[in-house]
């Protein structure tokens, strides 16, 4: 049985209530940290655990924390990125809805390590019903002395608040999120300076994903060695994979990193195979932004090794033959899927979500959508296919934030692996599906 | 909400909630409360933000009106034009599309006699398409106010429509309550 540290108690009725969570050993990590560990020791544990940011970028969490200047006289902030909006990704919603106290416990641990006395959970506005659940749990945590002044008599105090977004994918980018939290448009900031130096209200700030923060109680309770023992290579611990599309069992699965992709797709413990006994055509393995891979390359690397659900294995072969683990948004397509049409929905998404600050992204996302509409509706030319590749190339890497890359990679990879399908649309002057 | 000479004004309970929210941010950083307060303002103003309402929010937070306009126009959840009582938002991004979102949209169009972006003549329903709602495992998905309805089928859509019609559904309720 695979180790579960995020979903282990998820089916316990009433888990969102303080008493139920507490009875299952909840808040023991806060007791342990505040009574027996210094903030630096907590940071050190997280560093040694090998935990990486689970929002998509995969940056080592402990290292991110260590960029905070503890001696700074400014306030320090921990902000939880609950702006889950990457198409295919729906794992964080689950945590706040069913197990909000684990997130709160993680926020206390992270805030203590960073020396933050105020922390915010920035949650996408569409998830107001989850915000209400978390706010109720926060009130319970205050009432039971785990938030507020002088927590457990340790002298450490923390205030924790939820903050709703209002419909903007870009606010999942950490500097756009901070702008939004300051009551502004979600325009990403130029980096450097990074948030650890100049973050919320100009103060040192760490922004961490929900899943990253929810892993902290287990790491503090069980130690970095136990956490690092799970997984493979530099992919330590467990990861939530949200699987959707043409599979028999869409849902949220907690896997030990290193699970073979083939097992994940076909085993009854996970996705349960392709719907209606259909054939696997393609997978977008880490949220809509990451390169799409055809069936043969998602199951095996170009050199014939079994592909694993890990940071290294999924990116094996670079973008030519590989992809990325990303956010864990696993979108499966069967042989009835039109790759062009699916890509068009992604292109429309990125055009809609571009903040408009950088010309290559503002204009490029719009051009890519228009050209894809042309091809999908049978009005495209062979030149349009090359034009798409060219635009994607010129948007990538030429913008303030990674949205430009995120919009380009799906286009470039779909044409790289399924060019003949684009050509078929042009030749037939209609969508063949 | 009470109105005097077209100037909106929240009632005491709503003002209390607003003040409670403002206190979550450091002194002098009350502008941070803008998104939460705009959500409340929209719910108090029939589901949209009129210029008068945005000016009122600016006065509550002691910021310039332009600071409110530029934010309200950036975020897709804020409506700058009047909407129907019940706004139906249908996700049509990749995973929902893979699972039949287009059929759901066509079904609502047919049943309501309107296209996305439009409101029925009786003012009861507005139909919108939206981008990913982060519930892809239960696609297709729609949102109405703060409710999600998942694994949608045309039958489920009909049942919901019937229910909303009979109860005169209003989707713009205060999201904090």
Domains by residue range for chain B, with CATH: 2-72 (1.10.10), 86-166 (3.40.30.10)
Query: Is the Cβ–Cβ distance between A79 and A85 less than 8 Å?
Result: no
Q: Kindly provide the residue ranges of all beta strands, DSSP E only, lying in A124-268, ordered along the sequence.
A: 159-164, 205-209, 231-232, 235-236, 238-245, 251-256, 259-260
pLDDT attached to residue B6: 72
pLDDT attached to residue B83: 98
Q: Which residues of B touch A120 (CB under 8 A)?
A: 24
pLDDT attached to residue B2: 53
Residue A66: which residues within 8 A CB-CB, separation 6 or more?
Answer: A43, A47
Q: What is the ipTM of this complex?
A: 0.96
Other CB atoms within 10 Å distance of the CB of residue A156: 18
Q: Which helix (H) or strand (E) holds A307?
A: none
A110-121 core/surface letters (b: 16 or more CB in 10 A; e: else): bbbbbbbbbbbb
Helices and strands in chain A: count of H runs, count of E runs: 19, 13
Give the integer Cα–Cα distance in Å for A106 and A28.
Answer: 11
Other CB atoms within 10 Å distance of the CB of residue A424: 16
pLDDT attached to residue B9: 93
With bands split at pLDDT 50, 70 and 90, how would you rate the model's confidence at B3?
low
State whether B75 and A331 contact (CB < 8 Å).
Answer: no
B176 vs A: CB within 8 A: yes
> What tokens does A57 get?
């970028």
Query: Is the Cβ–Cβ distance between A62 and A43 less than 8 Å?
Result: yes
Give the integer Cα–Cα distance in Å for A302 and A3.
Answer: 30
State whether A167 and B77 contact (CB < 8 Å).
Answer: yes
Give the integer Cα–Cα distance in Å for B148 and B139.
Answer: 11
State whether A349 and B131 contact (CB < 8 Å).
Answer: yes
- In 3D space, the residue among A431, A298, A309, A308 whose CA is nearest the CA of residue A373 turns out to be A431
> What tokens does A71 get?
């001696």
Helix (H, G, I), strand (E, B) or coil at A275: helix
Cα B173 to the center of its chain, rounded Å: 9
Q: Do domains A231-334 and A339-428 have the same CATH topology?
A: no
State whether B134 and A163 contact (CB < 8 Å).
Answer: no
CATH class, domain A231-334, is alpha beta
Helices and strands in chain B: count of H runs, count of E runs: 7, 6
Helix (H, G, I), strand (E, B) or coil at B40: helix
Count of CA atoms in the C-beta half-sphere (13 A) of A146: 27
- In 3D space, the residue among B169, B123, B176 whose CA is nearest the CA of residue B142 turns out to be B169
DSSP, residue by residue, A169-189: GGGGSHHHHHHHHTTS--PPP
Q: Which residues of A touch B135 (CB under 8 A)?
A: 90, 93
CATH class, domain A339-428, is mainly alpha
Helix (H, G, I), strand (E, B) or coil at B8: strand
State whether B93 and A346 contact (CB < 8 Å).
Answer: yes
State whether A165 and B35 contact (CB < 8 Å).
Answer: yes
Across residues B55-79, what is the average pLDDT?
98
- Rounded to whole angstroms, what are the CA distances from B21 to A84, A144, B33, B37? 23, 22, 6, 8
B105-122 core/surface letters (b: 16 or more CB in 10 A; e: else): bebbeeebebebeebeee
* pLDDT mean by block of 10 residues, chain A; 433 residues: 90 97 98 98 98 95 96 97 97 96 98 98 98 98 98 98 98 98 98 97 98 98 97 96 98 97 98 97 98 98 97 97 97 98 98 97 98 98 98 97 97 98 98 96
Every domain of chain A and the residues it spans: 18-228, 231-334, 339-428
pLDDT in tens, B164-174: 999 999 999 99
The CATH H-level (homologous superfamily) assignment of domain A18-228 is: NADH-ubiquinone oxidoreductase 51kDa subunit (3.40.50.11540)
Give the integer Cα–Cα distance in Å for A68 and A81.
Answer: 18
Considering only CB atoms, B36 lies closest to which of A164, A251, A284, namely A164
The CA R_g of chain B, rounded to the nearest whole Å, is: 18
Between chain A and chain B, how many beta carbons pairs sit less than 8 Å apart? 153
Q: Which residues of A touch B175 (CB under 8 A)?
A: 125, 128, 131-132, 164
B103 vs A: CB within 8 A: no
Query: Is the Cβ–Cβ distance between A329 and A242 less than 8 Å?
Result: yes
State whether A90 and B136 contact (CB < 8 Å).
Answer: yes
- Rounded to whole angstroms, what are the CA distances from A20 to A10, A101, A131, A153, B79? 11, 10, 20, 23, 40
Query: Is the Cβ–Cβ distance between A82 and A121 less than 8 Å?
Result: yes
pLDDT attached to residue A122: 98
> What tokens does A104 get?
């709160």
- In 3D space, the residue among A23, B96, B57, A267 whose CA is nearest the CA of residue B104 turns out to be B96
């Amino acid at each position: 049985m695979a180790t579960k540290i995020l979903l282990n108690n998820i089916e316990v009725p009433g888990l969102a209530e303080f008493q139920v969570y507490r009875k299952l050993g909840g808040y023991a990590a806060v007791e342990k940290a505040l009574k027996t560990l210094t903030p630096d020791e907590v940071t050190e544990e997280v560093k040694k655990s090998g935990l990486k940011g689970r929002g998509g970028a995969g940056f080592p969490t402990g290292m991110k924390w260590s960029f905070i200047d503890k001696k700074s006289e400014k306030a320090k902030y921990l902000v939880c990125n609950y702006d889950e909006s990457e198409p295919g990704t729906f794992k964080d919603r689950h945590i706040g809805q069913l197990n909000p106290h684990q997130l709160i416990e993680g926020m206390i641990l992270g805030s203590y390590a960073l020396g933050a006395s105020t922390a915010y959970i920035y949650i996408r506005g569409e998830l107001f019903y989850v915000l209400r659940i978390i706010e109720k749990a926060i009130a319970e945590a205050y009432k039971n002395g785990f938030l507020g002044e002088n927590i457990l008599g340790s002298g450490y105090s923390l205030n924790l608040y939820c903050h709703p977004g209002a419909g903007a994918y870009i606010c999942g980018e950490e500097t756009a999120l901070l702008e939004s939290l300051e009551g502004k448009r979600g325009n990403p900031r130029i980096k450097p300076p990074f948030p650890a130096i100049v973050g919320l209200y100009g103060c040192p700030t760490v922004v961490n994903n929900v899943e990253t923060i929810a892993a902290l109680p287990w790491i503090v309770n069980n130690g970095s060695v136990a956490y690092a023992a799970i997984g493979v290579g530099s992919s330590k611990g467990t990861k939530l994979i949200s699987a959707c599309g043409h599979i028999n069992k869409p849902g949220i699965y907690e896997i030990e990193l290193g699970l073979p992709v083939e097992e994940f797709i076909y085993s009854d413990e996970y996705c349960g195979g392709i719907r209606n006994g259909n054939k696997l055509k393609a997978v977008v393995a880490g949220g809509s932004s990451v390169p799409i891979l055809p069936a043969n390359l998602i199951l095996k690397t170009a050199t014939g090794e079994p592909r694993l659900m890990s940071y290294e294995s999924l990116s094996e072969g670079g973008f030519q033959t590989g992809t990325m683990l990303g956010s864990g948004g696993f979108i499966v397509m069967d042989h009835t899927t039109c790759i062009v049409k699916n890509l068009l929905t992604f292109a429309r998404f990125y055009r809609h979500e571009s903040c408009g600050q950088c010309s290559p992204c503002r204009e490029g996302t719009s051009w890519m959508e228009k050209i894809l509409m042309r091809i999908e509706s049978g009005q495209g030319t062979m030149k349009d296919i090359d034009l798409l590749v060219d635009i994607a190339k010129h948007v990538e890497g030429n913008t303030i934030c990674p949205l430009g890359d995120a919009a380009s990679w799906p286009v470039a990879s779909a044409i790289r692996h399924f060019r003949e399908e684009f050509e078929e649309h042009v030749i037939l002057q209609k969508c063949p599906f | 909400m009470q109105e005097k000479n077209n100037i909106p004004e929240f009632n005491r309970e709503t003002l209390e909630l607003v003040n409670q929210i403002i206190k979550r941010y450091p002194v002098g950083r009350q502008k941070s409360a803008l998104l939460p307060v705009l959500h409340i303002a929209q719910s108090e103003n029939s589901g949209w933000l009129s210029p008068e309402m945005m000016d009122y929010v600016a006065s509550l937070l002691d910021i310039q009106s332009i600071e409110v306009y530029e934010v309200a126009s950036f975020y897709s959840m804020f409506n700058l034009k009047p909407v129907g009582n019940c706004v139906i938002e249908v996700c049509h991004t990749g995973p929902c599309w893979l699972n039949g979102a287009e059929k759901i949209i066509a079904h609502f169009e047919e049943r309501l006699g309107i296209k996305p972006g439009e409101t029925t003549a009786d003012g009861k329903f507005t139909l919108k398409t939206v981008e990913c709602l982060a519930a892809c495992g239960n696609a297709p998905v729609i949102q109405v106010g703060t409710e999600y309805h998942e694994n949608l089928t045309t039958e489920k859509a009909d049942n919901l429509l019937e229910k909303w019609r009979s109860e005169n559904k209003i989707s713009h309720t205060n999201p904090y309550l």
